[in-house]
């Protein structure tokens, strides 16, 4: 979900700076989401979070470790939204429509970064450490598993041999919508494209 814009809290006197970790992660998420991992420098993070380098390193470690914390936190937020959208008893086309609605809402939050942090990282990040890339790819693939489970709750679809292929298709469509949202495509257009994809499923019975 797009991060908030709350300010960083500072301590009084001349003691080392204190800050709210969640607020700092909000700011780091916004920066990574907007600029991308590669284009975000440690100095950018220091400036955005309002802390000195010593505090940044002591709390989060290096840039890759901070990005890992951002991805894990963002992943929990996204997983909760997706889990709710695809939770039983929703199944088949009903579940897929709920999935698309949830994705489009997350990708077009007013006042926040558009698109999806995971998808943006996969499509634009070439120099991130391999464990980071694997974490992002695993999160993207997990959505396919949830989609397959939701599709299989529809008895008419469950007996088909291509359920996994359908799940991959809808996962790809969802991630594609996130890319379009990032490019500035209007919400109504994203919703129309999603409905076309669902009709493919309804013709597949």
Q: How much of the chain is helix, strand and coil, in % rounded to 5?
A: 70, 0, 30
Is this structure's pTM higher than 0.85? Answer: no
Q: What is the pLDDT of residues 14-34, one digit of tens each?
A: 344 467 889 999 999 999 998
The pLDDT tens digits of the residues spanning 69-124 come to 999 999 898 888 888 999 999 999 999 999 999 999 999 988 778 998 888 887 77
String of DSSP letters for 150-168: HHHTSHHHHTSTTHHHHHH
Q: Which CATH class is domain 63-202?
A: mainly alpha
pLDDT in tens, 80-94: 888 899 999 999 999
> d(Cα 102, Cα 84) in Å, to the nearest integer?
9
Q: How far apart are CA 168 and CA 65, in angstroms?
A: 30
For the chain, the domains span: 63-202
């Amino acid at each position: 979900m797009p991060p908030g814009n709350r300010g960083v809290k500072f301590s009084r006197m001349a003691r080392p700076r204190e800050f709210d970790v969640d607020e700092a992660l909000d700011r780091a998420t916004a920066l990574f989401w907007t600029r991308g991992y590669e284009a975000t420098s440690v100095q950018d993070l220091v400036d955005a979070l309002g802390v000195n380098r010593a505090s940044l390193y002591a709390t989060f470690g290096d840039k890759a470790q901070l990005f890992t914390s951002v991805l894990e936190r963002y992943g929990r937020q996204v997983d909760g939204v997706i889990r709710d959208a695809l939770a039983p008893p929703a199944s088949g086309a009903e579940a897929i429509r709920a999935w698309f609605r949830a994705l489009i809402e997350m990708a077009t939050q007013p006042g926040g970064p558009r698109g999806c942090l995971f998808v943006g990282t996969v499509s634009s990040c070439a120099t991130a450490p391999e464990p980071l890339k694997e974490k992002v790819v695993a999160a993207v693939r997990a959505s396919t598993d949830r989609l397959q489970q939701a599709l299989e709750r529809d008895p008419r679809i469950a007996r088909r041999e291509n359920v996994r292929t359908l799940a991959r298709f809808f996962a790809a469509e969802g991630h594609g919508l996130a890319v379009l949202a990032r490019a500035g495509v209007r919400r109504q257009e994203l919703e129309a494209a999603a409905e076309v994809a669902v009709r493919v499923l309804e013709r597949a019975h």
